[in-house]
Amino acid sequence: MGKSLNQDNITPTGDPSANSEEVKRDFKGLLASTKAFLHDLLDIRPNTDQEATKEAMIADIPFRGHTSWILICSIFIASIGLNANSTAVVIGAMLISPLMGPILGLGMSLATNDIDTLRRSLKNFAIMVVLSVLTAYLFFAVFPIRDESSELLARTAPDIRDVLIAFFGGLALVIARAKKGTIASVIFGVAIATALMPPLCTVGFGLAIGNPSYALGALYLFIINTIFIALATFLVIKLLRFPMVRYANSHKRRLTARIASAIAVLVMIPAGYTFVNVFNESTFKNQAQQFIKQKIAPYQFSEGGRFMDNFTDIHYNDGIDPYIELVFMGDEVIPDNIIATWENQKNEDFPKLRDTKLHIVQGSKNEQMDQLRYVNELYESQKTQLMGKDDKIAFLEMELTRFKKSASKQIPFQDISAEAKVNYENLVSLEYDQALVTDFKKVDTLSVFQVKWDEDLSSSRLFLENSKLHNWLKIRLKDSTVQLRN
């Protein structure tokens, strides 16, 4: 009838504890394979040539002979580029600049306890700075055009981005240097990104025009770049475990190690302080701008008042008594309760602005009413002038283009006429002038020659002489548009 069930033939669904162990083993295997993958992906030690890297860095430290002249030429090129506000020229100067050598030497010597290399790096670093600033100073002191271009002014106020660029640029540079077969494109890229040369040129510019604030701001940016490139070099060399320099004298070895460690700490202290200070200032200014954009600018006036955003003044002052000055124009007064609301919003929504004072400068309520009226009128007049400047610039550009075309067609008429008389004995007179010709789409300038021949020439001979003279003028002047008339 029924078939008896054999329980030994039933396959068990599995022990939960056994499944858990299997999951753990799979997870550990995944972690191990992930770790191995990341190790192969990110570990740079197996492909590092320590000896060649050290030799290359030491070879780049000295400034003498060819290197000195390359530095001088690159400083001149960078100064011209900054003066002309040409980013492309500045980048070209940075590509040929040898400024990185002593800075990398500083970081490497501190990391490897090499006091002799440290001494040479410091000496050549000082030479580099003095030679660069002196060259830039001489250029800007002698060159008659010394406009404060945006490329120059951009190097007088460092912020947190400059710190990060210098640090990560230094990391990329040292890693590229350490690789077997140096990656030249990385070295060029870091030379551009970290921008060591433009700040030194700006220091020379500030000294040449007698503006110490420009010089100090640019020098501060250069020091930031130097410290963080050296710090990045120090960290990478330590990570790659470059061998320490050994000294036979144990006392000298210990003393050298202490000196190198002390210098490394001294470098890291200002680096850390600079990073924190610049970060705080950047955060402060960012929150101040957000506060103005979100809370101040949207305020609606009912009687024709106006918030003068262009006159806003944000001062950090290294965190000591920071303030934000807001300027309002018109007869309408900002109510006290609105100002109190702005104060509360500033303190509650923007933590970096809690100790910041709001200076509200407004028309009819302020004691400086006359000055503000003058500022208002000045602003309006400047706005009109600025609107007119676009038309003036367009006109001047058109005139400059026309002048260049005209100048390019100027010829040495005295030489041309003398040569023509020698080559064409039947030539009686030759006149020259320029004519404006238009096809109603554009205007062009043509060189026109009026010629007179001997009256005894036959018509066929006259035609031949005209043709020869016309072709000669085209070749001689390198201008196919030359016109010849009888």
Give the mean pLDDT of 154-183. Answer: 72
Closest alpha carbon to 169 in 77, 236, 246 = 236
Closest alpha carbon to 178 in 282, 230, 104, 88 = 104
The more confidently predicted of residues 437 and 210 is: 210
Predicted local distance difference test score (pLDDT) of residue 130: 92
Pair of tokens at residue 277: 């200070």
Q: How far is CA 46 from CA 43, 240, 474, in A?
A: 7, 9, 68
132 and 75 in contact (C-beta within 8 Å)?
A: yes
Predicted local distance difference test score (pLDDT) of residue 263: 67
Average pLDDT, the chain: 76
pLDDT reading at 264 higher than 70: no
The more confidently predicted of residues 252 and 59 is: 59
Give the max Cα distance, the chain: 146
Predicted local distance difference test score (pLDDT) of residue 11: 46
At 134, the pLDDT band (50, 70, 90 cuts) reads very high
pLDDT reading at 126 higher than 80: yes
- What distance lies between CA 49 and its chain's CA centroid? 32
The more confidently predicted of residues 32 and 342 is: 342
Write the pLDDT tens digit of every residue in 444-454: 778 888 888 88
Distance between CA 141 and CA 84 in Å, rounded? 15
At 159, the pLDDT band (50, 70, 90 cuts) reads low
At 133, the pLDDT band (50, 70, 90 cuts) reads very high
Find the range with the poorest average confidence among 3-7, 84-88, 435-439.
Answer: 3-7
At 400, the pLDDT band (50, 70, 90 cuts) reads low
At 15, the pLDDT band (50, 70, 90 cuts) reads low
Predicted local distance difference test score (pLDDT) of residue 40: 72
3 state DSSP class of 359: strand
Find the range with the poorest average confidence among 182-191, 250-259, 357-366, 390-399.
Answer: 182-191
Closest alpha carbon to 225 in 311, 276, 159, 135 = 159
Sorted by sequence, the CB contacts under 8 Å of residue 312 that are 6+ apart come out as 292, 324, 325, 326, 327
The more confidently predicted of residues 246 and 415 is: 415
